[in-house]
Structures are given as structure tokens and as C-alpha cells.
Structure 1
Amino acid sequence: MVLLSDVVAASAEVAATSSRKAKTSAIAALLRRLEPAEVTAATALLAGELPGGRAGVGWSTLSALRVAPATEPRLTIGEVEAAVGEVRTISGSGSGQRRTDALSALLGRATEAEQSFLLRLLGGELRQGALEGVMVEAIAAAAEVRTETVRRAFMLSGRLPATAEAALSGGEPALAEFHLELGRPIRPMLASPAETLDAALAELGGCSVEHKLDGARIQVHRDGDEVHVYTRTLREITRNVAELVELVRGLDCRSVVLDGETLALDDAGRPRPFQETMARFGAQEQRDELLHPYFFDCLHLDGTDLVDRPLADRLKALEQVAGDHRIPGVLSPTPEDAAALFDDALAHGHEGVVVKDLDSPYAAGRRGKAWRKVKPEHTLDLVVLAAEWGHGRRRGYLSNLHLGARDPDGGPPIMVGKTFKGLTDELLDWQTAEFQRRATGGDDWVVRVVPELVVEIELDGVQTSSRYPGGVALRFARVLRYRPDKDAAEADTIEAVRGMLRGG
């Protein structure tokens, strides 16, 4: 039986090293010790997540808890899972006090180190999607299976604990049982940035070049008349996008899984602001903006899974089932054709193009080089770490953002700069309220927040700097928009930021 103290010790060991190999080794060592019934909960805890998902406990509740710690470790992983599950179910009259009592009872059985771990876990401070890559490698090492097999199973299941359970209980045969299941979203394949269009074309050879829309990622599943629509974070939005459901239900097929983007257009056919598209995803009532889908991949068609097929085959299936709704693009273009498409994308108000290897299978996880995005300006998706209270006209608002890049080795985001530029009055209102809801601490000057909000930053470039731990700093950074469709696991890495150094 593994105790919570064992998880805390492994987590501390991971946090104390910058070596990806050492992190992987520490996690794998603990995974090997787990009993079968402990695997799912322990995997979640090691990844910095609560078993079963968030518990709905705010910082104000957690910061008010004062409980004397236990002197000896005795909490089991199963007991933690059960206690958190109990907190999650508390609702109704007097729920605040009952939730406090349940949390106090849990913390009273925890040592000081365990209390600190649990409080950070409940507050979301340990939730770091960047650790997923390390966890995948650790699961593979512990189960003595190939990393790619674990990564593929994770892509198809979307659940790291379930993937770990299969790997540790049944090895590669159990992992091979994961398949694309209609109605269960799979993790999306991502593109990495390329410096120029010519560089991307030269790197990939036979490729497709497509518009990169200023829209929101969607994944649609159809099985007969049943249709489901999911965001890039695998959240279901079916009931909010009736026009997309109707369109997919009208396609000439029995079953299909499509990957693409959607956006609202103005009367001239140009994209409306990104926020208007995202507003539809959370709308509780009918809105005027209609969403238009643009599909760029087909992962399943009429009983046949296509994720392992080359992109060229998937595009043929896409043309067959949804040709009228394909994203604009060209196959195997000349440099001149690709440049013309790039100019066309910009002329229509889009972001640029994506260049894709026609031989590549569909693979989620690390941003590989099979898909390369090309944009005319420098932008980065960074994680908000904290914000400073403003002064003058911005007094009373949280304004100056502390920005972090993702650590690809699973550590916390690495600070690379600050900015208060580009913030509208509307954004100042929103982030002041939102940051206080997500606060994990602070003082009269700075409020620290759970590192989960992603913001798109436009910048002139980066420069070397000893001011920040990553050794680089943003130059003339300004806020373009927040990205509620992305989580911290999809933020740009410190390697991507350093790669923007002149000559880098």
C-alpha cells in the first residue's frame, strides 16, 4: 500500500530537479510500487490533479483553514480519493461550512508536508499540463512498454489515469485496446511555429498548405443521427452550437469524426473578433452570431478509423464527406502557389497558413514538426502567473501581467516578462474579477494566480536577459487576447521563446 506521503516525496523529488530523465525516473519508481486499485488516483496526484477532477474549492476557503498537522504519515491514496469525492458532492444549504468541516477532517489526518501538498492541489497550483509529457514517459518506463504506445493510448482515451491503469495492468496489449470511440473526443494534434513559409516548405517536402483561421478548434463526432461537438480542451459544447450539429447531421455518411475550426463571420464574410466566436461556446441562450465550420481533417468515416493513415488519405476522406466545408488549401504546392495562398489568407482576415506533411499520421501530444504554422507577426501563447495592481487611471484594477512560458520538462511555467499594454477597459474589468477568483496568494502589490489562463501576446521579439529565470525577456509585448480555448499544456515552451532570439 502506497501512502500519500510517498506521492508527496516523489512530487518533491520531481520539483527539485530540472532533469527530465530524473523526473521520469522518480515518477516511474513510484508507479511500479502501486497496487492496481491505487493506479488511477495516484496517477492523477502525480500529475498535479485531484482524482476525479476539480472539487470547486476556492482560495478564500483554503486560506482560512487552520488545522494542526498529524505527526506521522498515515493517509492512504484511497482515503484521499474518497475524502475529495465527498467534498465534491457537498451542496445546498450550509454547504460552505460542511465543505470546510470535511476539508478540516482530511487535513487533520495529514502531516505538514502532506497538508501543503493537498492545499496546493485543491487550489490548482500543482495542476500543470506540461507534466503530462513526463508522465507519459514515466508510465512507459514503469510498464516497460514503448512511449509511443502510451502516447497513442492517451490521445485516444484523453485520460492519463486510465492510460496508466491499462499500461501497468496489461502492457502493450491493453494499450492497444484503446481506439477511436464515437462520442469520446480525442486529444488534438498541434502545430509548431515555423520561422518562414519557405523554411516550412523545404522542411516538409510533400505537403498541404491551408489557411490558418482566427477561429476556435472543434472536433465533431457523428454516429447515425447523434452528433457531439467538442472544444480543443475536450469540453462538450453540443447544446450551444445547434447550427453545427444540424450541418454535420446532414452530411452524406453514417458515422464521422472531423477536426476543424469554427468562427463567426461578418456580413462581408470576414472573421468576427475571436471573443465573439468563443462567446457562443458558453452561451445559455440563442445568440445572433452564426458559426461557420471549416474542417481540415477526417479521423473516422463510416466505420473506418483513419488516425493512423497518412494525411493524404485523410484528406481524400474529408473531401468525400465534407468537401463543401473544407478549409481553403492547396496540395503539393509550388513555392509561388503557397505564397499566393498565404497572401489570400491574410487578405481575408486570417492569421496565416499551416503547412502539413502529407505522409504524417494523426498524433497528439508534443508539438511535432509534421504541422508547421506560419504567421506574419511574432506571437506567443503564454501563461499568466500573476498581476500587479494598477495606479493612476488603472487604480483598483489588476493590470501588469506576469507571463510564463511552458517548461517542456514538466516544471512550473518559467517567467519571461511582463506587460500591461493592449488591455482594454473591458479586459481590465474581466481580469480583475477573474484573477481574484483564481488567486493563490499575494500582497498589496501583486496577486498570484493559478497558472492556467493562456493569453496571446504580440511582440517585436525577445532578448537575452538575466532578469528572468529563463534567460530571455519579451521585447515590446502587448496583449492580443485571452485564449479560453487553450489550457496551460498548450502554451508555448521556453524553447520556443528562446528560439526567437536573433540568430537562434
Structure 2
Amino acid sequence: MRDLLGRPADTATLSVTDVDAVLGEVAATTGSGSASRRSELLSDLLSRATAGEQDFLLRLLTGELRQGALEGVMIEAIASATDVPADLVRRAVMFSGDLATTAAAAAAGGQEALLAFGLELGRPVRPMLASPADSLDQAVDGIAEPIVEYKMDGARIQVHRDGDEVHVYTRTLREITRHAAELADLVRGLPCTSVVLDGETLALTDDGRPRPFQETMARFGSTREEQVRALLLRPYFFDCLHLDGTDLLDVPLRSRREALHRVAGEHVIPGEMAPADAAALLESSLDAGHEGVMVKDPDTPYAAGRRGRAWLKVKPSHTLDLVVLAAEWGHGRRTGYLSNLHLGARDPDGGEPIMVGKTFKGLTDELLAWQTRRFPELERGSDDWTVHLRPELVVEIELDGAQTSTRYPGGVALRFARVVRYRPDKDPAEADTIEDVRAMLRG
């Protein structure tokens, strides 16, 4: 793509439809000589673009464009542009699994076209997600008969069975059936003819405790027989979206849960409805090596994405005080700001802080502006992308835990790290140590 960049146009003439037409022709160009023809099409397109448009198109086509249009914003935009209810667009996206397909249907056929989308065996449904809760008490408050289940640190799976045909999908709707043969065999043996189940899968140690998350995920790319045998996956299902010809997404969770117990039996995730002691369930989950609990409203349907208080996750909060080692220049709406932080834990032996991860999450516009002003004062070196700092600033980081890693010198990496605040009241000698981070490794 960069080789195709020529002198940019002086004035802007390209329209969205112009670009769409060229990209459509590029996509349709196949066969002998197609590579040369595609290069010609793209070269001509770029020659008609201004410098800013060339930069935009280059990053768009190479997957490097960060322009801030979140899916939720796009759903509202589609609804507005096609004059259909946003809830109907959201539901169609859940069934189709693709925002562009849904947008095209809304534009061409409006509400009637969107209503045509439904659950199809063998086509994964966008998953329903949980929102975080500050505490167990907050999560159960206001729900008459809450369902409280284990929150496991596994890989989200969705399984579809139609007769003897079984498909297994990840949270991102990627099919992994060939990497999870034991899951497919298990579902094929359930007492039904067709079913769609939502759940988690994880690899367990010999004593039944969960292995680290990355070991479970490694199974989905493994072709080594010895590793497959060593890391058998155990499923824990928590929802049933279809059973023997009947779609269940629109019925209350309490009814879906009844169907789930009928078909999945011992493979249902541990949990109770209206438990006498929800705190004891949370403690039991943590003692077993899991993350916490899920609290669910039994009267809610299944809906893709985070749906308010329908599903809430309760996990103990972990925070660390770490040293800022460097920051990377931002992209998209953060262009011109120092954004992505390199984080280090204190070396208890007095050496340089040991890098344990990066994050840009949690940074407000005010913090971005402050970092961009402050960090150059601490610079001890830089390149095109990164400003390296003297290790003088301490930042409080919230995280979900830690995992082993070969990427960083300490052999450990942060999971889902996000900035809480800077700690001007602390100096680097008071930061948490690499041993504190290692102590967070599960198991």
C-alpha cells in the first residue's frame, strides 16, 4: 500500500461512494493479472486523494485506523439513517453477527428486513455480556430472586448442535470445532436433537482447579496430540438459547435455565437461584480458584452486549501502584497525545523497574493532556513512537489479575489493566514489587 502512494491531490474531490465503488471493484477482481489490476485501481484512488485522505485510506485499509466509532454508536446511526428502532437494529446484529450486513438490510428493507433475522443453527449469535458491579450487595439489590453463579476465568464458548452436526464458537464468533473435539463429542451426546448452549470452557489441573487462562486459549491453536491430551477442556454451560426446535432467547432466564438443566445436567455451571447465602457462593468460587460470581435477573431475555443490570459480575478488586516507564504517541482521536503507558514493578533488589504491561484504558482527556505536558520533562530518550521516561511517576492501576508471560522480563503480565489515578503522594521506592505482581498468578 505504501508503495502505491504518489503525490497527493491538491484539492479534495473524492466522495464516500467513489471510494466504495473502487474498493468494491478491488474486491471483485480475481484471476490472472488480478494483483496488477488491483494495484492499478488503488494507485488511481490514492492519486485522487489529498494528503489527509491518503493517510486515512492507508490506515483504514491496513487495519490501523482508530477513529472512535464504537459499535453502539454505529447501531444508533443505522437506526437514525434508516428510520428504524435501535433495539431492532441491535437484535438483528445479534443474530447476523455482522454490523455491515445488518446496515445493508436496514437500508434496503427497513424494519421488515431486520425482522427477518433470527437464530439459525450453525450461525453463532452475538453473546450477552455482563456489566461490573462494585460489590455483591449492590449486584443483588433490587432483584427478588437473583441467580448467583460462579464467574470462571475460562474461554467463552457457544455450541450449536443440529442432529449429529456440532459447531463450537468463541466469544468473537470464531469457529474452533476442530480444536475442541471433546466439546463437540460431549454436546453430540446430550439428550436432544438440536440445541444452542452458551458457556465457558477451561482446562483443569489434576486436582480440578483451573489452569491459567492462556493455557486454555492455547488449546484453540494447538495441533500437537500430546498437548491435546494433557489439556482436555471441561465445559460449564450457563444458558440455553434453543432446544429441540424452539428458540428461547425471548423467554425469561428462569425458563431458559430450566431447559439448560434438562439438557446439560452435570455440565451446568455451579450456582443457585435465590441462594440463602450469596456471600458463601462467592467465597466458594474464589476458594475453587475462580474469579468471583455472576448475578443475573431471572426475568430478563437474552440480548447481545451489556444490557444494564440483567447480568452483573462481581470480582474482588485488585490494584497495584506501578512506575511509568514510557508512553506511546496516540492514534485516532488521541493523535498528538502521549497515551499508551508502559508500566513497571519495583525490583526489590534495587534495580530498574521491571516492565509488566501496557495500558491506555482509563485515561481521561484531562489525564492525556497532563501526560503530554508532563512527560517530556522526564524524557530520557525517544523514538518515532515512544517517549522513555525517568522512573519517577507512580500510577495506581486496577486489574483483573496477572498471567505468566514471555513477553516481559519479569515473566508475568497484567490482565485488563486500567488507570485509576496518579499517586503524587508516592515515590517509586513505594511502588509494588515484581513479587507482588507474581503473587497474583492464579494457582
Match of 1:283 in 2: 222
Instruction: Identify the residue that residue 85 of structure 1 maps to in structure 2.
Output: 27
Report the CA distance shift for 1:189/1:369 in structure 2 as closer, same or farther (over 3 A).
Answer: same
Whether 1:227 aligns to 2:166 is: yes
- Bigger shift: residues 173-182 or 200-209: 200-209
Corresponding residue for residue 376 of structure 1: 316
Spell out, residue by residue over 1:115-152, the C-alpha distance to the aligned partner (whole angstroms, 9 max, x if none).
12111212323356861101101111112111111111
Separation in 2 of the partners of 1:368 and 1:263? 27
Structure 2 gap segments, 5+ residues each: 321-329, 331-338, 365-370, 373-393, 425-430, 439-443
What is the distance in 2 between the residues matched to 1:372 and 1:113?
A: 43
Contact 1:207–1:332 (8 Å) recurs in 2: yes
How far apart in 1 are the matches of 2:82 and 2:195?
33
- From 236, 240, 245, give the equivalent of 1:303: 245
Q: Distance in 1 between matches of 2:355 and 2:22?
A: 35
Aligned to 1:492: none
Task: Give the aligned residue type for 2:99.
Answer: L
Written as runs of structure 1 = structure 2, the 5 A alignment for 1:15-164 is: 62=2, 66-70=5-9, 71-74=11-14, 76-82=18-24, 84-85=26-27, 103-126=42-65, 131-164=70-103
Q: Which amino acid aligns with 1:403?
A: F
Q: Distance in 1 between matches of 2:273 and 2:25?
A: 55
Q: Using the alignment, how far apart are the partners of 1:422 and 1:263 within structure 2? A: 17
**Aligned residues, how many?**
373
Asked if the contact 1:352–1:374 (Cα under 8 Å) also holds between the matched residues in 2, the reply is yes
Counterpart CA distance in 1 for 2:275 and 2:22 is 56
User: C-alpha displacement at 1:455, in angstroms?
Assistant: 6.6
Note if 1:191 corresponds to 2:130: yes
The two structures have a TM-score, normalised by structure 1, of: 0.65
| 1:237-271 Cα distance to aligned partner (Å, 9 max, x none) | 11110000100111111111000000000100000
User: Residues 257, 477 of structure 1: CA spacing in aligned structure 2 closer, same or farther, 3 A cutoff?
Assistant: farther
In structure 1, what is the equivalent of residue 196 of structure 2?
Answer: 257
In 1, the alpha carbon distance for the partners of 2:319 and 2:151 equals 14
* 8 Å CA contact 2:403, 2:415 repeated in 1: no
> Which residue does 1:360 correspond to in 2?
300
- Rounded Cα–Cα distance in structure 2 between residues aligned with 1:480 and 1:312: 40
> Residue 456 of structure 1 corresponds to which residue in structure 2?
415
Note the 1:386-425 alignment, pairs <5 A: 386=340, 401-405=358-362
Q: 1:379 to 1:194 in 2, by over 3 A?
A: farther
CA distance in 2, matches of 1:196, 1:233: 28
CA RMSD of aligned residues (A): 4.1
Query: TM-score scaled to structure 2, two decimals?
Result: 0.73
Q: Aligned residues: percent identity? A: 56
Could you list the runs of 5+ residues in structure 1 that have no partner in the other structure? Answer: 1-60, 408-413, 432-453, 467-474, 482-504
C-alpha distance in 2 between matches for 1:129 and 1:360 = 30
Superposed CA deviations along residues 181-212 of structure 1, whole A, max 9, x for unmatched, are 11111111000111111111113332210000
SS in 1 for 2:169: strand
In the alignment, is the contact (CA less than 8 A) between 1:222 and 1:254 conserved in 2? yes
After superposition, the C-alpha distances for 1:286-315 in whole angstroms (9 at most, x for unaligned) are 322100000000000111111111000100
Instruction: Name 1:319's counterpart in structure 2.
Output: 261
Q: Distance in 2 between matches of 1:423 and 1:271?
A: 13
CA contact (8 A) 1:356 1:372 kept: yes
State the Cα distance separating 1:425 from its structure 2 match.
6.0
- Which one has a bigger Cα radius of gyration? 2
Q: 1:83 to 1:423 in 2, by over 3 A?
A: farther
Q: Which shifted more, 285-294 or 298-307?
A: 285-294
